[in-house]
Amino acid sequence: QVQLQESGPGLVKPSETLSLTCSVSGGSMSSSYWSWIRQTPGKGLEWIGYIYYSGSANYNPSLRSRVTISVDRSKNQFSLKVRSVTAADTAVYFCARDTGTNWFDPWGQGTLVIVSS
Amino acid sequence: QSVLTQPPSVSGAPGQRVTISCTGSSSNIGAGYDVHWYQQLPGTAPKLLIHGNSNRPSGVPDRFSGSKSGTSASLAITGLQAEDEADYYCQSYDNSLRVRVFGAGTKVTVL
């Protein structure tokens, strides 16, 4: 079955860019949507955005100005970039397969990113 | 403050039945959008438990059931087991915010 694994730096300085990659194994990325979701103690679970395997993306309006999600079909990976980060971007970041309009399944194990100088 | 409201915690003895409510509004659950439920065990990622209001993915015990009515949805766990101790989240779509939204989560404690 499909499995997802996040990777990237666990510490990012304020005002810099957070970059994470999600590697998809056990299946093809074709004909699916792929999302990033983050979790904080204060705001809970927050959908960041998704990318379709063809490359079209959709973002949470609250984050759209700072976020880019891209896909590398040759590597079976998709990536997240969050620009101009602040402490409020400190969170556990999950990648997940997305039905597009409904639920998320499965999820990666998550990776903690701390924004601090 | 979450768009979908869940009780912070519920508890029950082994074997009992507990329910978790998820209350929304006319821009999400009340607008007819489906509700989905996730279970998050300590230190792990959320796992899909119920999709489309009441559908269990393969492998999810039939002790878990979901329902939806009006602007609310519920998750029921019957025959509560120690392994059910976890956080549970509801999720839907909000057409005012134009995003998928989650509840703040409910911690289930097995006494």
> Greatest CA span in chain A, whole angstroms?
40
- Under the banding of pLDDT at 50, 70 and 90, the label for residue A31 is confident
CA atoms within 13 A on the CB side of A32: 20
- Rounded to a whole number of angstroms, the distance from the CA of B45 to the nearest CA of chain A is 5
Q: Which of the pair, B1 or B11, is modelled with greater confidence?
A: B11
Residue B87 contacts A where some CB pair is shorter than 8 Å: no
Q: Which of B92, B102, B107 to mutate to test the interface with A (most CBs of A within 10 A)?
A: B102
User: Cβ contact (<8 Å) for A61 and B98?
Assistant: yes
User: Cβ contact (<8 Å) for A45 and B102?
Assistant: yes
Nearest 10 degrees: Cα torsion A100, A40, A8, A61: 40
* Rounded Cα–Cα distance for residues B25 and B7 (Å): 16
Instruction: Give pLDDT tens digits for B84-107.
Output: 999 999 999 999 999 999 999 999
Instruction: Give pLDDT tens digits for A65-83.
Output: 999 999 999 999 999 999 9
Nearest residue of A to residue B49 by CA position? A105
- Rounded to a whole number of angstroms, the distance from the CA of A51 to the nearest CA of chain B is 14
CB-closest option in B45, B89, B93 to A110:
B45
Instruction: Give pLDDT tens digits for B66-83.
Output: 999 999 999 999 999 999
* Rounded Cα–Cα distance for residues A80 and A70 (Å): 7
What's the pLDDT at A100? 77
What's the pLDDT at A101? 78
Contacts of A110 in chain B (CB under 8 A): 45
